Homo-oligomer: A and B are copies of this chain.
């Protein structure tokens, strides 16, 4: 193994009364931190101060000399330009020069003993433009040798945190040279892989090896995709490959399932229709659910989920259909079928699968978990 290059350390200052008062979150800081990290720079700290010249000056003087570079955002709107620039010039006793030639957005730069200091507007789109066009290219020039970080997210379906931990116990992470983390989401779990290397190829190789190891431990039928590859994207690809058409029928999720499927560009290639059968009458009329099944078993039942999926498939004359019926709450629960009881079903020409779930959480979380569980069932059926 070669020696790791020296870490390049930065400080980030965000200026904004509206962040300190909690009116808005600091999404600029999140974006900048993420961009720097992925490009091999490390932030030692982030500081947020108000719109007062004194506070800005003080924050600058505290970080200058302790970092290889400083990024400062906010306080550079068309009206308060002068304030930040004055504070900067005053604090560092250096003139500032304008970044780029854009007349609608203002960014500034100055160098304080070899420390580059970048001053960007707080408007997110303008800040991003300056980051991409000026700050990162300039940092690359100044610090060509630096560790490189690459991240990968593995999207894990249908495994609770405890099982993931148990199955990952076998991994020898030291040997993998990849930091493995865990980020629970509402309806799926993410395993994150973080590799540090000198170049992209080496980092990608490390990630690839760790990815295979994690998949081996967790089981291939639990990792549905990577990074931005949501389950509905993977499903769309599988449907398109098989030239299959899909219909969905949903009750307690009220359209959420259809919405997730159609959020994918080009979904019209495989999505035929969705039935949001909120009332029992709608279940009978649109899906042909027999009224006696509804009265004998209740709308939230194995039998109704099955009839909904089969009805959606035959009424829409499609290859595959999924259905959800459940109690999302907060009301509507019974001792036998408490809030969170959800049946999901998937019907093809050859068979219909039905699964019962008991989800925890509020109405929204139960709806999200129900939609996800249905997508998981659909995904597994398409992979079978």
Contact = CB atoms under 8 A, between A and B. Distances in A.
Interface in A9-56: 18-27, 29-38, 42-50, 55
3 pairs of A and B residues whose beta carbons are closest in the complex: A254-B262, A22-B34, A274-B276
Contact of A42 (B20, B59, B149, B267): B20
Stoichiometry, copies per complex: 2
Most buried by B among A37, A253, A278: A278
A266 B258 CA distance: 21
Nearest to A45: B49
A192 interface: yes
25 contacts: A20-B44, A23-B34, A23-B181, A23-B192, A24-B183, A25-B25, A25-B27, A26-B26, A26-B46, A45-B49, A45-B50, A46-B47, A46-B48, A47-B47, A254-B263, A255-B255, A258-B258, A258-B276, A265-B330, A272-B279, A273-B277, A273-B278, A273-B286, A276-B276, A282-B316
A287 to B, nearest CB: 10
Interface residues of A, number: 73
A342 interface: no
A329 interface: yes
A363 interface: yes
A73 to B, nearest CB: 14
Contacts of A19: 33, 46
Contacts of A22: 30-38
A21 B37 contact: yes
A277 to B, nearest CB: 6
A256 interface: yes
Contacts of A275: 273-276
